[in-house]
Amino acid sequence: MENNIIELINENGKPEKLVVEATFHIDDTLYAVLHEVDSEEGMIYCVEEAEDGNGILIKVEDQEEIREVMEVYEGIADDLI
């Protein structure tokens, strides 16, 4: 499981460790489903590429987009486990 843990700097400038449950594309957009190490509650992020080539995670806030991503994730989750 440790290979799936990433450390991010949150909006408050504090580091936090998150578990990457899955990454997948919907159309041309890459999404990541993450959760905190001590929690099972998932969060959905859109992954974009920064100018330096590193990935930037942007939390998805739009409820319609969240529903769409969750439907796809639930459809592939059995294959990931």
CA distances from 11 to 50, 61, 67 (A): 17, 15, 24
CA distance 36 to 65: 21
Place of tokens 């974009």: 48
| pLDDT for the residue numbered 2 | 55
The phi, psi pair for 71, rounded to 5°, reads: -60, -45
Which residue ranges make up each domain of the chain?
Answer: 21-80
| pLDDT for the residue numbered 53 | 85
Per-residue pLDDT reduced to its tens digit, 12-49: 999 989 999 999 999 999 999 999 888 888 899 999 98
